[in-house]
Amino acid sequence: MTDSYRHKGLRKRLIDEIKNKGIKDEKVLEAMLNIPRHFFTAKGFEERAYTDNALPIAADQTISQPYTVAFQTSLLNVKRGDKILEIGTGSGYQAAVLLELGAKLFTVERQKTLFLSSQKILKQLGYFPYSYYGDGYNGLPAYSPFDKILITAGAPDIPENLLNQLKTGGVMVIPVGKRDSQEMLRIIKISETEYKTENHGKFIFVPMLKGKE
């Protein structure tokens, strides 16, 4: 796989497009400008990698729409050195964006094939997250607490267990709702027992499922 001038040109156009759709965080836009999204899409979808669409990956899952990746990442307000837990590694693209922003990333995937393929692609690009194969509902208690937690699958409810793995002052970004329509929530942990929840509008994700495949 190569990252040609043509890919770079298409990528610049895509980043301009999501900027026009309202993404203002320059650091996020720059990180996405640096990452070849076509490495992460399924065979035959390289051409469409630079359109603002979710696309199929293995195991009936999807790589999130670039606008959505930018939106969730902006809400997370990533600082260099932040210890972040991502649930739903999928293609690994969102992980690459977080790593490009300087995060210390822990990422969990319940589909074995994606757990394996994502690591291969990320390694090829020089990104090294701590990758785990398992049920994200459990989080990673041994490595908690986290500064930030990002859920990239649609959750039916807010997983209490994951809130417990957040630092005080920490932030969770999670799409919550029914199968085909979720609300993007940003939850800020104010103290051990208090949370502030903001609603950032409707999105559609593949479902967050229990157990592992």
In the annotation, is 64 catalytic? yes
CB-wise, 3 or 213, nearer to ligand SAH? 213
Cα 57 to Cα 25: distance, rounded to the nearest angstrom: 27
Residue 99, interface with ligand SAH (CB under 6 A)?
no
The contact mask relative to ligand SAH for 30-69 (x = CB under 6 A, - = no) is: -------------------------------xxxx-----
| Strands in the chain per DSSP E | 55-56, 62-63, 83-87, 104-109, 130-133, 146-151, 166-178, 181-189, 195-203
CB-wise, 134 or 168, nearer to ligand SAH? 134
Which one of 41-49, 76-84, 133-141, 173-181 is the stretch in contact with ligand SAH (CB under 6 A)? 133-141
Query: Which of 4, 64, 74, 118 is an active site residue?
Result: 64
CB 55 within 8 Å of CB 49? yes
CB 137 within 8 Å of CB 116? no
Cα 69 to Cα 158: distance, rounded to the nearest angstrom: 20
- Packing angle of the helix pair 66-76, 26-34 (nearest 10 deg): 130
Least distance between ligand SAH and beta carbon 67 (Å): 13
Catalytic residues: 64
Positions that interact with ligand SAH (CB under 6 A): 61-64, 87-88, 90-91, 93-94, 108-111, 114, 135-137, 152-153, 206, 208-209
